[in-house]
Amino acid sequence: MDLNDKIAIVTGGAQGVGKAITLALLNKGMKVCICDINQDLAHQFIETLPDAQKNNIIFTKCDVSLFSEFKTAFEKVQSAFGKIDLLVNNAGLVDEHDWKRMIDVNFIGVIHGIKLAFHYMNKNGDGHGGFVINIGSNAGFDPFELGPVYAGSKHGVNGLTKSYGTEFHWERTGIKVNAVCPGPVDTALFYSFPDMCLDKGVAERHNNSVKFIQPEEVADAVLFVLGENRNGALLRVDCNGRRYVES
């Protein structure tokens, strides 16, 4: 996929992995809409950009768990840029204490994004086709006793990716759906994890023992998947590198 002058939506794009993905896409010549619930962080991020890139980015406050807000974001991008070529479903959280909210963001939010992408980007409608990249997790492949509901939500993202990333949907929409599934990433989410899981002490020992990767490595993996032009692929990314996981 030639990214120059293409249009992307990145959810949770104001910080962490989403911010790194947004920067990577801007550096490839894309125009990007950040969808995030944190308006202050989004504006602070945009202010740090060079003037040339400030012309290629917009922000819309959006809770992805609310279909109406997500739909408004798509409409805003259509109005501002005329089309949408890529959706990165990145917004997510870890909170086993409020597991319902976590499912709403991590899983329902991804469903909302895919449904909206299939409407607004559909080559058989008013769109031109394109890509959806879901940001999953290594926890979507393995048991994760400290965050079972989190793991369940990410297993669900993998299932959505492989089921939507099929010829059946490609022929009807012209949209390819893939996932990038990182291990622990050096973000605020990683450091807040002990307070949000089932056992803080065990989680602190877990965090001290694992090797994390940088957000930029996840962003590079997103570019890699786009370059590979696959459909229904799950790319695992961690301290051992990146490799496709076949199921």
First-to-final CA distance of the chain? 25
Domains and CATH numbers, the chain: 7-236 (3.40.50.720)
17 phi and psi, to 5 degrees?
A: -60, -40
**pLDDT by residue, tens only, the chain of 247 residues:** 789 999 999 999 999 999 999 999 999 999 999 999 999 999 999 999 999 999 999 999 999 999 999 999 999 999 999 999 999 999 999 999 999 999 999 999 999 999 999 999 999 999 999 999 999 999 999 999 999 999 999 999 999 999 999 999 999 999 999 999 999 999 999 999 999 999 999 999 999 999 999 999 999 999 999 999 999 999 999 999 999 998 5
Cα–Cα distance, 108 to 96 (Å, whole number)? 16
pLDDT for residue 30: 98
pTM: 0.97
Cα–Cα distance, 138 to 230 (Å, whole number)? 19
Q: E strands, the chain, where?
A: 7-11, 31-36, 57-61, 86-89, 130-135, 175-182, 234-238, 241-244
